[in-house]
Amino acid sequence: MRKLLFSAVIIFCCAQSLFAARVFKDQKRIAVTSFSANNLEEHYATIARNMLETELYKTGAFIVLERDQIELVAKENRIANYGNDDTKTAVEIGQVVSADFALICSIDYLEKYYITVRAVRVKEGDVYAIVTEDFEDINELKPEIIRVAEKIKTDLKKSSLVSGQWTFQTFVTFMSPHDSFDRLVNINSPLLQLRLGYDNLFMNNLSLGLSVGYIDMDGAGEGEKINGLSFSKIQFFPVLISTGYYINVSKRLRFAPVVSAGYAYSYLHYYDAGINDEKTDSRMFEILAAGLNFEILLAEGVGLVFDCGVMDFIYEGNNMIASCGSLGFAFYF
């Protein structure tokens, strides 16, 4: 029976990877379409814009479009009002550069300094959020810009409360069985796994996913037995619901603690005690699991994924535990 735990652990590792594949795709394309200075010299706007674009990039939440690219596309599309601080012009520019949000910004002085950023949703054509900061000394400009960038990140991530994507993975999986688990299976090489799934994303970095899979393994034949049965072959069809919370380490590296639960339908080939003929049977197993998921972004749409975790495989009140690790690639679209 514990050979089934091995199959379940392998599926669990792949299920964890279902989450990490989406992490970098959730970045929003953002364009600073105008940055004006009021009651100040123009170079203050240039300095503030440079700082803001840099800090937005550092948050890891945005793909910040290059200023030169925006200006070039605006000229090519003959956008006469480029640089104006009206919503219509911002939407027009955002559309031609394929931005999710266009930012209309200003730095003003009236007894003290003010920074104002209006975030316009390009697709909807409306002002989604307004961020403001005020300060007394111009030397406080950089820390204030950092606060503005963090506020923009928080406000704009709320715009994607629910989103999703299809994910395909391929993995080489290794495991370390506990107790007598290794006596039930013949493990001669790593296993290759193929997975297709869909992520539904809620509440910023909190994720919920559904995973399905298939494993076909050879058993230990008439060697070790559990409950009088010695398995020769196992076909395993698990369905897991998983949730995880993603934490940014850098722009290209994230990790997520993940918990999973579900059921697995299994088709067993076994030898009954005292009988040489092979029999078949089908059974349902419960799965509980927890672990960590890591992803390194290699290129747009492709990630290198590593999982490590512990799983509890439950059948008729019996708890069996194993640990595992998977290494593979994730492709999302």
Would you state the pLDDT for residue 49? 94
What type of residue is 310? V
Would you state the pLDDT for residue 209? 74
Residue 244 burial (CB count, 10 A): 24
Tens digit of pLDDT at every position of the chain (333 positions): 444 444 444 444 444 444 444 444 457 889 999 999 999 999 999 999 999 999 999 888 888 998 888 888 878 877 767 767 788 889 989 998 889 999 999 999 999 999 999 999 998 888 989 999 999 999 999 999 999 999 998 888 765 433 455 667 777 777 777 765 666 666 655 666 677 666 545 444 667 777 777 777 776 655 555 555 666 777 778 888 888 887 777 667 778 898 989 888 887 776 665 556 677 778 888 888 889 988 887 876 788 888 898 888 787 776 777 788 888 887 766
SS3 assignment, position 148: helix
Would you state the pLDDT for residue 220? 60
Cα dihedral 76→80→85→90 (10° resolution): -40
Domain range annotation of the chain: 2-25+161-332, 28-159
| Cα–Cα distance for residue pair 302/22, rounded to 1 Å | 10
Residue with tokens 């008439």: 222
| Cα–Cα distance for residue pair 176/64, rounded to 1 Å | 44
Q: What are the distances in angstroms from CA 253 to CA 18, 92, 248?
A: 16, 34, 7
| Cα–Cα distance for residue pair 245/247, rounded to 1 Å | 7
| Cα–Cα distance for residue pair 105/50, rounded to 1 Å | 12
Overall pTM surpassing 0.75 (yes/no): no
| Cα–Cα distance for residue pair 296/194, rounded to 1 Å | 19
CATH fold of the domain at 28-159: Rossmann fold (3.40.50)
Beta bridge partners, 64, equal 30
- Smallest CA-to-CA distance from 7 within 181, 209, 221 is with 181
Residue with tokens 């799983």: 311
The strand ranges marked E within the chain are: 28-38, 62-64, 101-110, 112-121, 126-135, 163-177, 191-202, 206-212, 215-218, 229-245, 247-248, 253-272, 278-299, 302-315, 318-332
CATH assignment of 2-25+161-332, given 2.40.160.20, 3.50.50.60, 3.30.310.50, 1.10.443.10? Answer: 2.40.160.20
- Smallest CA-to-CA distance from 34 within 77, 75, 71, 78 is with 71
Domains 2-25+161-332 and 28-159 share a fold: no
Sequence-distant (≥ 6) Cβ neighbours of residue 139 within 8 angstroms: none
Q: What DSSP character marks residue 54?
A: H
What type of residue is 13? C
Element (H, E) at 42: helix 42-58
